[in-house]
């Protein structure tokens, strides 16, 4: 079974600085997808960034980028120029690709990020 671990339950960062959230996962699969989702106090789940395992290039979305290390099964999220609106729970998620249908959606326990003014 796949597992996703986020070893940092809580983190804080000063506004405008950079912070990295860690995520590791365990799988024997070779074809899968990884995601970072953000859940602000409103509790709405928002996709931050997505990475296909077969792509070597790290995904980037504006101030958000990932460091995907497939061999190490590591998928960290870097937030640059942190903003107060980045305060939220961040969940790392794994999705296995099977015969055109996704199965085994697994979320990590989350990291609570606080951006301080």
> Contact 107/5 with Cβ under 8 angstroms?
no
- Measured from the CB atom, the residue of 23 and 115 that comes closer to other proteins is 23
Q: By CB under 8 A, name the one of 41, 62, 71, 101 that touches other proteins.
A: 101
Angstrom distances, CA of residue 30 to CA of 59, 70, 96:
18, 9, 9
Q: Mask 5-44, x = binds other proteins (CB under 8 A)?
A: ----------------------------x--------xxx
Which residue in the block uniquely carries the two structure tokens 């796949």? 2
97 is a contact residue toward other proteins (CB under 8 A)? yes
| Least distance between other proteins and beta carbon 106 (Å) | 7
Q: Cα 57 to chain center, whole Å?
A: 16
Dihedral sign for Cα atoms in the order 37, 39, 43, 47:
negative
**Least Å distance between CB 19 and other proteins?**
19
């Amino acid at each position: 079974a796949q597992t996703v671990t986020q070893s940092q339950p809580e983190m804080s960062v000063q506004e405008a600085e950079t912070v990295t959230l860690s995520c590791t996962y365990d799988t024997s699969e070779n074809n899968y997808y990884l995601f970072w989702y953000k859940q602000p106090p409103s509790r709405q789940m928002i996709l931050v960034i997505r990475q296909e395992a077969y792509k070597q290039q790290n995904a980037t979305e504006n101030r958000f980028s990932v460091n995907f290390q497939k061999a190490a099964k590591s998928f960290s999220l870097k937030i640059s120029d942190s903003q107060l609106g980045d305060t939220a729970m961040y969940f790392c998620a794994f999705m296995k690709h099977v015969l055109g249908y996704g199965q085994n959606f697994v979320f990590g326990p989350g990291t609570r990020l606080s951006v301080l003014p």
